[in-house]
Chain A
């Protein structure tokens, strides 16, 4: 695979420490396009070895607006169903540039390990120095030892190490859209984290046309219905749970994922003055809210924005899904922050809101800001949402942004994939891939 690709798949066996590099077969891309189209194929190929597949969309890390998405495809340890979790912020982009389009992680390590994937090299390294550390400490440790603060870390904390059903794979210091307990899978494999960094380049089949089309698309998109809005507060209003006034006093700034025109993340200052504009001497001051539903869950317990965000921070450090913690705390009648914090390890039981689909419900179940011309009774929402998410996870488009930008049509993304790769993708191919994924 010559274009928009590193042309490499790493097959990593944690049990034997053997790493095999395979070329990304162009025929596979013709048939499955990319992203979950291919992670599902790789999952089936290695399913006997209970693999975790890391992947990127065909357009991830390019000039295509919102091309931020990478993904984890694996079996949900609670339901046994194969699901996909989004890798946003800069993790999807970094995976694309790490020299591998896809990484298959199979087998269980005999002792704690971590993967260091960079510029076409994948190394299995001893994690004895970081096993037992929380997500933040482990991220700091890897970045310090490698001397690079831009390394993207997909890691687990104590929740994953101890086999919690709600353990989450976090991205650097922050919560991810892993609602499936993939952190538990990492823990079972004795895999503390995957560190990603790449300074490679992507080749484009027709670079001039590709850049021209991307610029044109961006100029159309940026005037969309989200224009002038930003952050978690506006997202909450759009999904009918307006928390803008509640959150406003602690907001410091908003943060976009790679090349995404709408900032879906909001920095809050918990220990510092939110009005502080100059850069703090602390690394990554405050806390980045990346998961609206976790925040809403704690709000429902009657907590303040600062209390809720402090709990989100604790969840991120431990590497546990805040949505699950909020729901189980409510069931257990725990409403005080300290009480909830102390009970992370003990909270157990089924979740009423356990996600049942294939794609993470981290992205809202309905359009955001925009009108996608759906019937007002919501009768088509589910089919539409599944297809929209499938499209995002195939091409590598931010799954929340995909819900707010009708301008990012399937036709346009298929066209960009054709221009970028020189392969002739059709709507029929996309239909076929989508059907296979959401069957």
Chain B
């Protein structure tokens, strides 16, 4: 059983937190949702690239950017997105990026990525640092194309990290967190180190020989931070937000509670309160989530994998979305009808039904031996939309209830 530390908010305000779930985001942004939920933070908003490109960042104090396809994120945000992100940080915003969210602000000469370059640092896990024989060791899953080179990954799951002073948990120097392709950074004067890669555990899955894994990671930087203007960027190679790693979660919680500044200049556009949404609305959610879960479970029995953008997706990721919603459904069904602000409840139900339809179509196509790459790409887009719809209702209800109990 995982024991999570309690996170008491010492701030005189509740930070408004944006979680990026737009183009390029995979499924790990849902881990941030779990973390914030456990922290009792309910002013949570889900932001996509379109919202960043207008003025979505003006409505949040903290932006959380998790894993996925860094190139797709960079491309969708473009020059304007980069400008708005820099402005957000300079004006006191807190950016926390893990994995793809950590690669995004690093210096790069690649198209799209070169629009960011917020931190001048090099990574150790790039193929130009490999010998010719080592380059041939990498299979498709262990690397991502990077121009003529590739970014490579040497392990998955647990890595052992050494935390710098000020970030140690209970006086312990070492902490464990999972690594799923995040960066390993070389020393740089442009940032302050928070944690180094130090070694492995029994749960580490090696994708290459242990020696090469040690050479790539050990002693290099796993977590760092940089001040820009009035704000800060924190970048994490490993997924400190993963729900199975409470100590690592605690580091992110402490950063949010320590560095979060009340800066949001405009309220998040939540629209007018919809008429009360009640049992029949949530029954529809239960019905379709149930349908989707059972098909998704069936897909997990099949040897499937889809390349979407530069990232591989497996059927198990579908259920990460669905389970995140399913385990919160009882809460939404409980109690009286709620009048939360929903822009388009009917549209939400439509998207939900479309998700079930897509899953069933995929299952049929798989059973016939057909490829499902296009359907999978569409499905994951839908999953993100449906998940943010649902979680928006969830956090709005929590916020409403905490206001009422406070009053």
Contact = CB atoms under 8 A, between A and B. Distances in A.
Contact of B287 (A121, A145, A199): A121
A147 B360 contact: yes
A120 interface: yes
A123 interface: yes
Contacts of B295: 146-148
Interface in B269-311: 283, 286-287, 289-291, 293-295, 297-298
Contacts, number: 44
B156 interface: no
B360 A119 contact: no
Contacts of B291: 118, 146-147
A93 to B, nearest CB: 15
B298 A148 contact: yes
A147 B364 contact: yes
Interface residues on A, range: 10 to 19
A119 B326 CA distance: 11
Contacts of B364: 144, 147
A147 B363 CA distance: 6
Interface string B344-372: 00000000000000011001100000000
Nearest to A121: B287
A150 interface: yes
A147 B283 CA distance: 20
A321 to B, nearest CB: 31
Interface in A107-123: 118-121, 123
A32 interface: no
B286, B289, B291, B297: which has the most chain A beta carbons within 10 Å? Answer: B291
A147 B294 contact: yes
A149 B298 CA distance: 8
B293 A121 contact: no
Contacts of A158: none
Contacts of A123: 287
Contacts of B363: 147
Interface in B356-402: 359-360, 363-364
A144 B297 CA distance: 15
Nearest to B319: A199
A147 B290 contact: no
Given A147-B363, A147-B364, A121 B290 contact: yes
A317 interface: no
Contact of B294 (A120, A144, A145, A148): A148
B286 A150 contact: no
Contacts of A184: none
A119 B286 contact: yes
Contacts of A75: none
A121 B292 CA distance: 14
A150 B293 CA distance: 12
B360 A146 contact: yes
B303 to A, nearest CB: 14
A144 B360 CA distance: 9
A151 B297 CA distance: 12
A197 interface: yes
A147 B287 CA distance: 14
Nearest to A199: B293
A121 B294 contact: no
A118 B363 CA distance: 19
Contact of B290 (A119, A145, A149): A119
Interface in A46-73: none
A121 B298 contact: no
A117 to B, nearest CB: 10
Contacts of B289: 119
B19 to A, nearest CB: 26
B286 A146 contact: no
B298 A199 contact: no
A150 B287 contact: no
Interface in A185-206: 197, 199
A121 B363 CA distance: 22
Contact of B286 (A120, A144, A149, A197): A120
Interface in A126-154: 144-151
Contacts of A197: 290, 294
Nearest to B290: A119
Contacts of B290: 118-121, 197, 199
A145 B290 CA distance: 14
A147 B298 contact: yes
Contacts of B286: 119-121
A118, A150, A197, A199: which has the most chain B beta carbons within 10 Å? Answer: A199
Contacts of B360: 145-147
Contacts of A147: 291, 294-295, 298, 359-360, 363-364
A151 B359 CA distance: 16
A98 to B, nearest CB: 10
A151 B293 CA distance: 13
Contacts of A199: 290, 293-294, 297
B283, B287, B290: which has the most chain A beta carbons within 10 Å? Answer: B290
Nearest to B322: A199
A96 to B, nearest CB: 16
A337 B298 CA distance: 39
A145 B361 CA distance: 10
A27 to B, nearest CB: 23
A217 to B, nearest CB: 25
A120 B326 CA distance: 12
Given A118-B290, A119-B290, A121-B290, A150 B283 contact: no
A123 B294 CA distance: 16
Interface string B231-244: 00000000000000
A383 B293 CA distance: 46
B299 to A, nearest CB: 9
Nearest to A98: B290
A148 B298 CA distance: 6
Nearest to A148: B294
Nearest to B289: A119
Given A146-B360, A147-B364, A121 B283 contact: yes
B224 to A, nearest CB: 41
Nearest to A197: B294
A150 B364 CA distance: 15
Interface in A206-232: none
A123 B284 CA distance: 11
Contacts of B283: 121
Contacts of A120: 286, 290
A147 B295 CA distance: 6
A146 B294 contact: yes
Nearest to A120: B286
Contacts of B287: 118, 121, 123
A359 to B, nearest CB: 33
Given A144-B364, A151-B294, 11 more contacts: A121-B286, A123-B287, A145-B360, A146-B295, A146-B360, A147-B360, A147-B364, A148-B297, A197-B290, A199-B290, A199-B294
23 contacts: A118-B294, A119-B286, A119-B289, A120-B290, A121-B286, A121-B287, A121-B290, A146-B294, A146-B295, A147-B291, A147-B294, A147-B295, A147-B298, A147-B360, A147-B364, A148-B298, A150-B297, A151-B294, A197-B290, A197-B294, A199-B293, A199-B294, A199-B297
Q: Which 9 A-B pairs have the closest CB atoms?
A: A119-B290, A147-B295, A147-B360, A147-B363, A148-B294, A121-B287, A118-B290, A148-B298, A199-B293
Interface of A: 118-121, 123, 144-151, 197, 199
